[in-house]
Structure 1
Amino acid sequence: MNGDCVLVGKIHTLDPSNPTAEALAIRDGKISYVGDADGARRQAGPNAETIDLGNRVALPGFVESHSHPIYYGRYLEEVDCRYATSLDDIVGLLGERARETPPGQWVVGNGYDHTLLKESRHPTRLELDRASGNHPVMLRNITGHCTVVNSRSLELAGITHKTPDPVGGRIGREAGGGPDGVLWEWARMLLQEHLPEPATEDIVRYLHNASGRYLAAGVTSVVDAAIGFNYGIRDAEVYAKVAGDGGLPLRYGAAIMYDVWKELQGGAGPGLDWPGDPDRVRPLAVKFFQDGSIQIKTAALREPYLGETEPADHHVIWPQEELDRMFADAHAAGWQIWTHGNGDAAIGSIIDAYEKAISGVPRTDHRHRVEHCQTAGEDQLDRMRDLGVTASFFAPHVWHWGDRHRELFLGEERASRMDPLASAARRGMRFGLHNDSPVTPVSALLSVGTAASRRTSGGEVLGIEQAIPVEAALRSMTVDAAYLAFEEGRKGTLSEGKLGDVVVLEADPFEVGPEEIKDVPVAMTIVGGEVAHVAD
């Protein structure tokens, strides 16, 4: 799946030693030359295709440092409720799918945002019962951190007023104590064994569904940030299978949930030595969660949510001693650790556990990560820098939810500091940006533009002091994102010897305004010297 080509035109390499070029050659999937057009043609293979960029511009292919490809690909086949503005809209969308589905089979929807519904609340089993009483119905919130089900689903799962809340989760309750249909965080797992188990070819199809979306956005490398969260060890088996088959059109890395990592470490399934080209699919890290989402108030914060007095720090998922133990286990085994932390209380807990693991078994370059890192305080960024801990920031939070974070959840001061990119940059930290798809549609350029502009979807500027320059934002979607996975020597700049992964844009992001970057069309995506996507 490696090819030869020559690109001629305007090229931003993001390599400080050679920042611009008029041509580059890719031979056998790797960049063989960066410089002038004549030199590129001499260094290309004999059958290399020449691509004249014209008025377009080439940059390194984007690296999506935190995403959920299997989940995303499945999501694209479910009932899309992202644009629902009322509970009646949701009932109508799910009811339409139910009428097309044989009785007794699951009807699954996703993407509703309760903060955009006119009722300003989550649906319950009662609304989903209106969609169908003859099907189990399940609806995922846009955050991915809570799920709503109808009465039929509750019966199938055996969830009653007697069912206790699981560790790390909560069952929503009606006034009489019975379940209201909303399952928060780890309570969603109560449904797992009752959901239909897809065939392997279905999961592979989900990956291909997602791959098309990534390529269309100029993304050439993606990290699946929760291997095992979808179908347990089968997630790893599918990635190992496609790695061996060589059937994916872009590059994937895997952050493996701790319990599945333990199984694989013990030799279960494909183990941890996956077949095929490691430049296409390979395991990278061990993954943990330590809180939920600010939008549904399951993130662990040091101070209460806006307008509330109840402490919010109790939303951490793992007791500190247990988190310390698991981190020490993965760290001592030589693995990188990535941990989901949105709230500053969760981030503090994560840093504490990293510090204990590192002090117990010192490693000079572990690059442990905080995922999302949405409300990290200045004191916490200091500790991260000192420990060598990095971050992948969910910068589009500002665009998608910045207005509501200010008005509903955090207030002006805390919302203005969300995703503190400039603070991290001032400390010399290298970090990545991501879209967390399917939580938001994949758009590397929205991440870049939001990081540089701090513009919200409502047209406001939120915390301009946390904006970073366009070049820094582009690096955070390319070479610095690669750095987060120890891959900066292989990808992220257009430099000789690196993988031939390129995105071609219709306009130069250095020449349009930061607020316009999100609207720049992707013309072409090249992976390993082969054209993997061309815009219509």
Structure 2
Amino acid sequence: MTQPDLILENARIRTMDPAMPWAGSVALHAGRIASVSPDRRHPEPAFAKARRIDLEGRLVLPGFWDSHFHYYQWAMGRQGAGLDQARSFGQCMELLRELAERPGESYWIQGQGFNESDWSENRLPLRWDLDQACPDRPVLIWRCDLHLAVASSKALELAGVDEVVADQHSGLIERDQQGRLTGILREEAVNCVKRAIPEPTFAHTREIMDRAQAGLHALGITGVHDVRLAGNISESALTFRVWQALRQEERLRLRCWTSLPGENRAAAAEIGLRTGLGDAYLRLGHLKYFMDGGMGARTAWMLEPYLDTGNTGLCLIQPEEMLQEVLLAEEAGLAVMVHAIGDRAGHELVGVFEEVQRRRPPSAMPLALEHRIEHVQVLREEDIRRLAALNMPVTAQPPNMILDINMINQCAGDVGRHAYAFRSMLDAGLCLLFSSDCPVCDPNPLVGIQAAVTRARPDGTPEGGWHSEQKISLDQAVAAYTSSPARAYNLAHRHGAIKPGAAADLVILERDIYTCDPADIAATPVVMTVFNGRIVHE
């Protein structure tokens, strides 16, 4: 009889294992689940030497996976101004002033997370606002969706961005009616300024990324898919090197798949990198591409014009070019994930993957992971059905939905009925993976679970839920953070369920979210997180 290291008992365990959906105790040994019992007290007398923890009836779930997470941006952004706390334009400026006055603060002032569509002023900051808040300091702040940023005059000056440079970016660097630069930067135009900011050292980045793991453990997260942003190749390389260093030093305490920018496709293929390379802690995931932008920046590619701008957004890569990229990636053994937020982007992209499947030779070697579409924020019913026929996973962000309600109502109106269509996706048979897109949203999976179940903001509005026909069940929401990612990563035998032989990655909640008021789910504390059989948060 294997002697377990730890027994968690007197619990209410939602195993996500159809063979035993609910259990009362679980024994862990050498990073694996040794046994699961329906009894509250583990019955084996041979387990007398194991450490036993009485959970006093608390809920146990498999460790949460966040399937689309910008780890570098989140970890480094925790050092700057958290503008998601700003409830008005004035508060946003005050947070920047406070940051500029901190002793020892870096020369560049940075912040992320503001959401102007929820402010009473309902307007974007401009460079003159930043100049007034932080005189003589370069400032760069990101909107919550990371598709738009605002730079101060000093930041534009240091980056060498003037009217001539702006003309080279086809309107992504915004001007006012007098032709002056407003400081608003959309999509990859942000990198014109970002490149002027001194890059952190490898040692500093390693320290910050290492320390940030505890923040995820406190939320019950034991696995992430770390996703790169467009036009940040040097940042991507730095992050990848740090992940490898943490793994080599045995300091990596997450299951981490990490993507590469699509711009690296040829280089990755040339040196023989393939999706799936790695071990149980760190693996190479997809190449990341962008079909369009974001609705907050009005750069998501839409079938119908935005109500407030009259345009239909941006196509960042033509479907024909995307098709060639996917075919070349497949040939090299590399899976792709493609950002698609607007309904036109989703429609065109489904067509691309239909053509990829038509052209795939019967003798083609299967990829380690399926291709994926990221966000599917607005997708019409007919395209959801076409996508389901392709047997591809998709990621979606319930916490982003509750940030976007006002914005989508303003810019898209009735088209919002096609947004965040979780029920339609599941009914069609899609493998739906939930995530936070952090730092776009709060990384707490319980925030996402509550949003998917209620389709309401934390304050309960709108009453009954936004487009309530798209609500899903609690178990479906939990699966999208546990068993569904395991299935999508071809790891259902080792992850996503509490069953013998699976990895001992668990989360213990103070409140039973299966019986509490759905409006209380997000406020439920995580009392313990177990990773690979070790308690990493308590």
TM-score normalized by the length of structure 1: 0.91
1:382 aligns with 2:382: no
1:529 corresponds, among 499, 524, 533, to 533
Q: Is the 8 A contact 2:13 2:25 kept in 1?
A: yes
1:212 aligns with 2:211: no
State the partner residue of 1:304.
Answer: 305
- Mapped to 2, the partners of 1:230 and 1:444 lie a distance apart of 30
State the partner residue of 1:233.
Answer: 237
Q: Which 10-residue stretch deviates more, 375-384 or 169-178?
A: 169-178
Partner AA of 1:134 in structure 2: D
- Mapped to 2, the partners of 1:403 and 1:176 lie a distance apart of 29
Q: Kindly state the Cα deviation for residue 193 of structure 1 after the two structures are TM-superposed.
A: 2.7
State the partner residue of 2:80.
Answer: 78
What is the SS of the residue equivalent to 1:162? helix
Q: Kindly state the Cα deviation for residue 504 of structure 1 after the two structures are TM-superposed.
A: 0.4
Partner AA of 1:304 in structure 2: P
Q: Which 10-residue stretch deviates more, 504-513 or 469-478?
A: 504-513
- Mapped to 1, the partners of 2:449 and 2:346 lie a distance apart of 24
Q: Is the 8 A contact 2:445 2:481 kept in 1?
A: yes
Q: Kindly state the Cα deviation for residue 80 of structure 1 after the two structures are TM-superposed.
A: 1.9
Q: Which 10-residue stretch deviates more, 282-291 or 327-336?
A: 327-336
1:455 aligns with 2:456: yes
Q: Kindly state the Cα deviation for residue 68 of structure 1 after the two structures are TM-superposed.
A: 1.0
Q: How does 1:270-285 map to 2 (within 5 A)?
A: 278-285=279-286
Q: Kindly state the Cα deviation for residue 293 of structure 1 after the two structures are TM-superposed.
A: 1.5
Q: Is the 8 A contact 1:338 1:368 kept in 2?
A: yes
1:356 aligns with 2:355: yes
2:496 corresponds, among 472, 492, 503, to 492
Q: Is the 8 A contact 2:243 2:252 kept in 1?
A: no
1:243 aligns with 2:244: no
Q: Which 10-residue stretch deviates more, 110-119 or 4-13?
A: 110-119
- Mapped to 2, the partners of 1:6 and 1:525 lie a distance apart of 14
User: How many residues are paired up?
Assistant: 524
Q: 1:190 to 1:284 in 2, by over 3 A?
A: same
2:478 corresponds, among 456, 463, 474, to 474
State the partner residue of 1:425.
Answer: 426
1:103-131 superposed Cα distances (whole Å, 9 cap, x missing partner): 99211122221223343211111111113
1:65-102 superposed Cα distances (whole Å, 9 cap, x missing partner): 11111110111110122232444433332233333467
Q: Kindly state the Cα deviation for residue 273 of structure 1 after the two structures are TM-superposed.
A: 9.3
- Listed as ranges, the gaps of 5+ residues in structure 1 are none
State the partner residue of 1:415.
Answer: 416
State the partner residue of 1:32.
Answer: 34
Partner AA of 1:430 in structure 2: C
Q: 1:151 to 1:466 in 2, by over 3 A?
A: same
State the partner residue of 2:396.
Answer: 393
What is the SS of the residue equivalent to 1:232? helix
1:337-384 superposed Cα distances (whole Å, 9 cap, x missing partner): 211111111112222222222222256775321111111111111111
- Mapped to 2, the partners of 1:193 and 1:416 lie a distance apart of 39
How large is the Cα RMSD of the aligned pairs? 2.6
Q: Kindly state the Cα deviation for residue 321 of structure 1 after the two structures are TM-superposed.
A: 2.1
1:120 corresponds, among 122, 125, 131, to 122
Q: Which 10-residue stretch deviates more, 11-20 or 360-369?
A: 360-369
Partner AA of 2:374 in structure 1: E
What is the SS of the residue equivalent to 1:34? strand
1:179 aligns with 2:181: yes
Q: Kindly state the Cα deviation for residue 209 of structure 1 after the two structures are TM-superposed.
A: 4.2
- Mapped to 1, the partners of 2:41 and 2:198 lie a distance apart of 57
What is the SS of the residue equivalent to 1:315? coil
% same residue: 26
Q: 1:368 to 1:147 in 2, by over 3 A?
A: same
- Mapped to 2, the partners of 1:488 and 1:115 lie a distance apart of 40
Q: Which 10-residue stretch deviates more, 447-456 or 498-507?
A: 447-456
Q: 1:523 to 1:101 in 2, by over 3 A?
A: closer
Q: Is the 8 A contact 2:255 2:280 kept in 1?
A: yes
State the partner residue of 2:323.
Answer: 324
- Mapped to 2, the partners of 1:49 and 1:513 lie a distance apart of 33
What is the SS of the residue equivalent to 1:231? helix
Q: 1:168 to 1:88 in 2, by over 3 A?
A: same
Partner AA of 2:427 in structure 1: R
1:58 aligns with 2:60: yes
- Mapped to 1, the partners of 2:491 and 2:343 lie a distance apart of 28
1:122-149 superposed Cα distances (whole Å, 9 cap, x missing partner): 1111111113343221111111111111
Partner AA of 1:278 in structure 2: D
1:105 aligns with 2:107: yes
Partner AA of 1:259 in structure 2: E
Q: Kindly state the Cα deviation for residue 236 of structure 1 after the two structures are TM-superposed.
A: 1.4
- Mapped to 1, the partners of 2:318 and 2:99 lie a distance apart of 41
Q: Kindly state the Cα deviation for residue 457 of structure 1 after the two structures are TM-superposed.
A: 4.1
What is the SS of the residue equivalent to 1:321? helix
- Mapped to 2, the partners of 1:152 and 1:282 lie a distance apart of 40
Q: Is the 8 A contact 2:269 2:329 kept in 1?
A: no
Q: Is the 8 A contact 1:217 1:522 kept in 2?
A: yes
Q: Kindly state the Cα deviation for residue 54 of structure 1 after the two structures are TM-superposed.
A: 0.6
Q: 1:40 to 1:532 in 2, by over 3 A?
A: farther
State the partner residue of 1:506.
Answer: 510
Q: 1:47 to 1:136 in 2, by over 3 A?
A: farther
Q: Kindly state the Cα deviation for residue 456 of structure 1 after the two structures are TM-superposed.
A: 3.0
Q: Is the 8 A contact 2:456 2:466 kept in 1?
A: yes
1:39-87 superposed Cα distances (whole Å, 9 cap, x missing partner): 675686x864212111211111111111111110111110122232444
State the partner residue of 1:402.
Answer: 405
Q: 1:443 to 1:165 in 2, by over 3 A?
A: farther
Partner AA of 2:490 in structure 1: F
Partner AA of 1:161 in structure 2: E
State the partner residue of 1:253.
Answer: 257
Q: How does 1:123-162 map to 2 (within 5 A)?
A: 123-162=125-164
TM-score normalized by the length of structure 2: 0.91
What is the SS of the residue equivalent to 1:82? helix
Q: 1:501 to 1:154 in 2, by over 3 A?
A: same
Partner AA of 1:316 in structure 2: C
Partner AA of 1:129 in structure 2: D
1:12-60 superposed Cα distances (whole Å, 9 cap, x missing partner): 101111111121111110111111467675686x864212111211111
Q: 1:354 to 1:99 in 2, by over 3 A?
A: same
Partner AA of 2:19 in structure 1: S
